[in-house]
Amino acid sequence: MDQFIQQLINGLSWGAIYALIALGYTMVYGVLRLINFAHGDVYMVGAMMAYYIAHWLGFAVAPSAAGFVIVMVLSMTACALLGALIELVAYRRLRSQPRSSMLITAIGVSMLLEFGGQRVFGPDPKFFPQLIESHSLFRAGSVVMTNIDALVIVVSLALMIGLRWIVMKTRVGMALRAVSFSYDAAALMGIDVNRVLTLTFMLGSALAAAAGTMVGLRNPKIDPLMGLMPGVKAFVAAVLGGIGNFPGAVVGGLLMGLTETFVSAYLSSTYRDAVAFVILIGVLLVKPTGLFGRVTVEKV
């Protein structure tokens, strides 16, 4: 039983990271119908930014909660700008073109960030500064929960609630929903689609940067290729939840984290990556639009 609870904690805290990244995928997909392959690499840049900011501002040597918040907010801002830039340079001109062409520029941007990262940051892993000292929050029997695990879950939750507030309660959020519902209709209603798209990329990239910063804190080893696998897994999580759907991305991310953890724990860690995909395929065969996906009626 102890082992089960421990795995549950491991899986939830790991799944929260996936959920944050998956939200960015889902947001972009919702408005642009684009699998933004570069998203995982934005998450990497977020972690790198946090690393450099922490060192520049001196928080790397003096752990404090305030330092963590400042570093995370600055990294989120930097990545929001990066997201807006990527949209402007690589995607905006292609919006009226076949969707596949945007996909290829997304792949190009992804490769650019990875290979560029290997040159700029160096290919070797970096030790992410311990902005908050890790200690066990509670210990019951052999179950351990660290303060970092708790922090990751709490901060992710707060960010998700914040995002939901922006999307549901603000004017820009309403515009965002309108664009994701119907691109052309939104434009006709006088919504500045370009602005909404920029905002979407900024929000999604900021969430990825938050995920990157927290991963650095939780698993303090960052390198230029760290976005590759989480990127794919988070994308799978977004599809699992029904791509374009916000709560779906969160549930999908948590499910992905829990699945990976429990497969490693109770089946076999050798098949972990395969089982995650088997479950995904199984879900999609029963519900072809994911768990919470909108069933679109096909018009002739």
Partner 1 sequence: MRRQHTIVTALALALLAGAWSACSPQGDEIVVGEYGSLTGGTATFGTSTHEGVLLALKKINDAGGVLGKQVRVVTEDDQSKPEEAVTAVLKLVKQNQVVAVVGEVASSRSLAAAPVCQSSKIPMLSSASTNPKVTQVGDFIFRACFIDPFQGSTMAKFAVNTLKAHKFAILTDNKNDYSVGLTQFFRETVKKLGGEIVVEESYAEGDIEFKAQLTSIKAAQPDAIYVPGYYTECALIARQAHELGLTATLLGGDGWDSPKTTEIGGKAVEGVYFTNHYSAEEQRPEVQQFLKEYREAYKGKTPDAMAVLGYDAMSMMADALRRAGSTDGTQIRDALAATKDFPGVSGRITIDKDRNAQKAIVVLKIENGAFHFVESIAP
Partner 2 sequence: MAGLLHLLRRNALVAVIVLAQWPLSMALSRWLNPYYLQIIVYIGINVILAVSLNLINGITGQFSLGHAGFMALGAYVSAAFTLSLGASVAGTTELLVALLIGGFGAAVAGVLVGVPSLRLRGDYLAIVTLGFGEIIRVLILNTNAVGGARGLTGIAPLAGFGSVYGCAVVCVVMLWRLVHSTKGSAFAAIREDEIAAAAMGVDTTRYKVIAFTIGAFWAGVAGGLFAHFIGYIHTNSFTFLKSIEIVVMVVLGGAGSISGAILAAAALTVLPELLRFGAEYRMIIYSLLLIVMMLTRPTGLLGNRELTWRSWKPGTAH
Site residues for partner 1 per CB under 8 A: 3, 6-7, 10-11, 14, 115, 118, 122-125, 127, 134, 136, 139, 142, 144, 146, 215, 219-221, 223, 225-226, 228-229, 260-262, 264-265, 269-270, 272-273
Task: Compose the 71-90 pattern: x for residues touching partner 2 by CB under 8 A, - for all others.
Answer: -------------------x
Nearer to partner 2, 152 or 250 (CB): 250
Nearer to partner 2, 119 or 139 (CB): 119
Picked from partner 2, partner 1, none, the partner binding residue 289 (CB below 5 to 8 A depending on kind) is: partner 2
| C-alpha–C-alpha distance, residues 27 and 201, integer Å | 8
| C-alpha–C-alpha distance, residues 181 and 291, integer Å | 19
User: Using an 8 Å Cβ cutoff, are 236 and 74 in contact?
Assistant: no
Degrees, nearest 5: CA angle 251-267-239: 25
Nearer to partner 2, 123 or 162 (CB): 123
Task: Compose the 111-150 pattern: x for residues touching partner 2 by CB under 8 A, - for all others.
Answer: xx--xx-xx-------------------------------
Residues 6+ apart with CB under 8 A from 110: 37, 38, 40, 41, 231
Picked from partner 1, partner 2, none, the partner binding residue 52 (CB below 5 to 8 A depending on kind) is: none
Q: Indicate which single residue of 61, 93, 137, 138 sits in contact with partner 2 (rule: CB under 8 A).
A: 93
Q: Which of 212, 56, 216, 47 is nearest to 131 (CA)?
A: 216
The token pair that represents 250 in the structure block:
């969160």
Q: Residues in contact with partner 2, total (CB under 8 A)?
A: 43
User: Using an 8 Å Cβ cutoff, are 221 and 126 in contact?
Assistant: yes
66 CA to centre of own chain:
23
Please report how close the Cβ of residue 96 comes to partner 2 at its closest, in angstroms: 9
User: Using an 8 Å Cβ cutoff, are 221 and 269 in contact?
Assistant: no
Q: Which of 266, 15, 260, 51 is nearest to 153 (CA)?
A: 15
Interface with partner 2, residue 266, by CB under 8 A: no
Q: Which of 67, 66, 60, 83 is nearest to 203 (CA)?
A: 83
| C-alpha–C-alpha distance, residues 201 and 24, integer Å | 8
Residues in the chain: 300
Please report how close the Cβ of residue 297 comes to partner 2 at its closest, in angstroms: 11
The continuous run of DSSP H or E covering 27 comes out as helix 2-32
Please report how close the Cβ of residue 10 comes to partner 1 at its closest, in angstroms: 4
Nearer to partner 2, 146 or 264 (CB): 264
Interface with partner 2, residue 188, by CB under 8 A: no
Q: Which of 170, 192, 159 is nearest to 80 (CA)?
A: 159
Picked from partner 1, partner 2, none, the partner binding residue 150 (CB below 5 to 8 A depending on kind) is: none
Which residues are at the interface with partner 2 (CB under 8 A)? Answer: 29, 33, 35, 37, 90, 93-94, 97-98, 100-101, 103-105, 107-109, 111-112, 115-116, 118-119, 232, 235-236, 239, 243, 270-271, 273-274, 277-278, 280-281, 284-285, 288-290, 298, 300
